[in-house]
Amino acid sequence: MATPDDVLMEPRRMRLTSLDTWRGLVIFLMVLDHVRDFFNRGALTSTPTEAGHTTLLLYLTRWVTHLCAPTFLFLAGVGIRLQYEKHGPTWNLSRFLAMRGLWLVFLDLVVISTLLSFGRVFFFIQVLYATGMSMLVLSALVWLRPRFVLVLGGAIVLLAPLAIRPLLHATGAPLLFRTFTVLPGPLPAGSGIVLYPFVPWLGVMCLGFGYGHIFRLPPPIRDRILAWTAASLLALFALLRGINGYGDLSPWKAGHTPLLNSESFMDVTKYPASPDYVLATLGISLLLFLGLERLRGPFIRILTTFGRTPLFTYITHFFVMHCLQIAVGLALGYPLRIFQSYIANASAAMFSGTVPEVERLGWGFPLWGTYIVWLLVVALVYPLSRWFEGVKQNRQDWWLRYL
C-alpha cells in the first residue's frame, strides 16, 4: 500500500504539488503587503519604492510583494492549460472559465470591497476583478492553438502601453472604459477605485496558458527550460529598462550612489502593470520556483496549504486582518470610525490631496511591528486554510470548484 510520501514522490504529482507551494509562497508574501497597508505607519502617504525617500528594508519589503499578482495570474493560466491538456478545448471548460470569471468579479465588487471597508459602500477593484475578466476572455481563447495564445499574451504585455495613449485625455464613458481596461483610477462620485485594469493581466494569464505544458515535462528538461525562460525575461527587462523609454511609465533616474541607482532602476510600475514590471517579476518568480521545490519541512507544508486554498485564504485573510486592525486600534484608544471604512476614507483623502485621518491621528506601527502582525495574521489564517483544504480533499461538491 502506498504511503503519503510515496504518492508525493510520484513525478507528475510532485510537480503539481510544487505549483501549489509556489502559489502558497506568493500568498504568504501577499499577506505581508496587505498587512503593511493596514498596520505600517505612513503606508497610505508614502511610496516605499521611491529611491531616496525610503529605507532599504522597506523598499525590499514592498518590492518582493510585486511578485504576487503576476505569479497569481500566470499560475491561473498554467492551471487552465493543465485542464486543457486532459481533454482539449471543450464547452465544459469554456463554460466553467466564464462562470468562474463572473464569480471572481462578483467577489471583488461585493465581498472583498465589503471586507476592506466596513460601513461604507466603496468598490475596491483589484486582482480578483482582473483575474475574473481575464478568465472570461480566455474562455473564448481556449479554442485557439495554445502557441497562438502564448504569442498573444506576449503581445498584450509588451504593447499594452500603446492602448493607453489614445485614451489619456478621455472623458465620460471612454474614461470609464479606460479605467476598467488599461489605466487605473477612481470611479465617479468617489464610489471606488480600480487598481487592476484587466488588459495587461490578461496578457500574463495568456502567457501562463501558452507556457503551462512545460510543467508536465520531466524535471530535468522542465527546469532547463524554466531557467532559460527566466534568464531571457530578465535580459529583456534589463534591455528595455536600460533604454529607459517605452517599457515603463516611470523612467529611472541616476542617483548619487549605487544603491540609489539600483532602487530607481528596479522601481517599476505596477498600476498599470508595465512591460518592465511583468518581465522582471515573472523572471524572478520562475527562479524562485526552481529553488522552492527543492525545499522540504513544515514551512513548505504551510505554503502548500495556502496554495491549495488560494481563494479561500485570500478572502479569509482580509476579514482576519481588518478585524484585527479594529481590535488593536480600539485597544490602543483610537476611534472606531477611522478603521471601519479604512480603505475608502484613505482613498478619498489621497484623491483630494489631503492626509487621511488615520494618518493624522498617528495610527501605525514601525516596520518591525508590521512584521510581527504579519506573522500573527498568518498564524490565525493557517488553521482555517488547513481545515478548508481537508474539506476539498474529502468532498466533491460542485461549488468547491469555485472556492
At 337, which amino acid appears? R
For residue 216, how many other CB atoms are within 10 A of its CB?
14
CB 98 within 8 A of CB 227: no
Q: What share of the chain is helix, strand, coil (3-state, %, to 5)?
A: 75, 0, 25
Q: How far is residue 150's CA from residue 80's CA, in Å, rounded to a whole number? A: 13
Q: Cα(37)–Cα(39) distance, rounded to whole angstroms?
A: 6
pLDDT > 90? residue 169: no
Higher pLDDT, 20 or 5: 20
Closest of 20, 25, 31 to residue 378, by C-alpha: 31
Q: What type of residue is 112?
A: I
Whole-number pLDDT of residue 345 = 75
Please name the residue that has the C-alpha cell 480603505. Answer: 343
Rg (the chain; Cα; Å): 21
- Between CA 357 and CA 267 the distance in angstroms is 28
Confidence of residue 9 (pLDDT cuts 50, 70, 90): very low
- The pLDDT assigned to 350 comes to 64
Q: Please give the Cα distance from 69 to 38 (Å, whole number).
A: 19
Kindly list the distances between the CA atom of residue 230 and the CA atoms of 5, 68, 233, in Å, as whole numbers in the listed order. Answer: 30, 16, 5
Q: pLDDT, tens digit, for every residue of 57-111? A: 999 999 999 999 999 999 999 999 999 988 888 899 999 999 999 999 999 999 9
Mean pLDDT of 266-273: 93
The predicted model gives 209-237 an average pLDDT of 95
User: Which residues, in sequence order, are CB contacts of 54 under 8 Å at separation 6+?
Assistant: 46, 47, 48, 263
Say what the pLDDT of residue 358 is: 80
Query: Does the pLDDT value for residue 12 go beyond 60?
Result: no
The reply to whether omega before 335 is within 30° of 0 (cis) is: no
Place of cell 486582518: 321
Residues 6+ apart with CB under 8 A from 336: 326, 329, 330
The answer to whether 49 touches 267, Cβ cutoff 8 Å, is yes
CA–CA distance, 281 with 278 (Å, rounded to integer):
5
For 14-23, 143-152, 331-340, which range has the lowest pLDDT when averaged over its residues? Answer: 14-23
Give the pairing type, strands 192-194 and 185-186: antiparallel
Task: Supply 334's cell numbers.
Answer: 483610537
CA distance 285 to 271: 19
Would you state the pLDDT for residue 103?
Answer: 95
pLDDT, tens only, 19-63? 999 999 999 999 999 999 999 988 877 788 887 788 999 999 999
Strand partners for 242: none
pLDDT, one tens digit per residue, over 371-401 is 999 999 999 999 999 999 999 888 877 777 7
Contact, 185 vs 193, CB < 8 A?
A: yes
pLDDT over 50 at 1, yes or no:
no
What pLDDT score was predicted for residue 122?
85
Average pLDDT over residues 344-352: 70
Burial of 12 (0-12, 13-18, 19+ CB in 10 A): exposed
Does 2 score more than 70 pLDDT? no
Mean pLDDT of all residues in the chain?
89
Q: Tell me what percent of the residues of the chain surpass a pLDDT of 90.
A: 64
Supply the pLDDT for residue 349. 67
Amino acid at 345: N
Give the per-residue pLDDT at 217.
92
> Would the pLDDT of 13 be above 50?
no
* pLDDT tens digits, one per residue of 318-337: 999 999 999 999 999 999 88
Contact criterion met (CB below 8 Å) for 207 and 160: no
Q: What is the pLDDT of residue 53?
A: 82
DSSP string, 163-215: HHGGGTT--HHHHHHHHHHTS-EEPGGG-EEES--HHHHHHHHHHHHHHGGGG
Contact 313, 303 (CB under 8 A): no
How far, in Å, CA of 34 to CA of 322, rounded? 10
Domain boundaries, the chain: 15-46+295-403
> What pLDDT does 119 receive?
67
- Give yes or no for a contact between 22 and 15, defined as CB atoms under 8 angstroms apart: no
DSSP letter (8 states) at residue 352: T
Q: pLDDT tens, 273-305? A: 999 999 999 999 999 999 988 888 899 999 999
> Which of 317, 361, 337 shows the shortest CA–CA distance to 120?
337
The predicted pLDDT at position 360 comes to 82
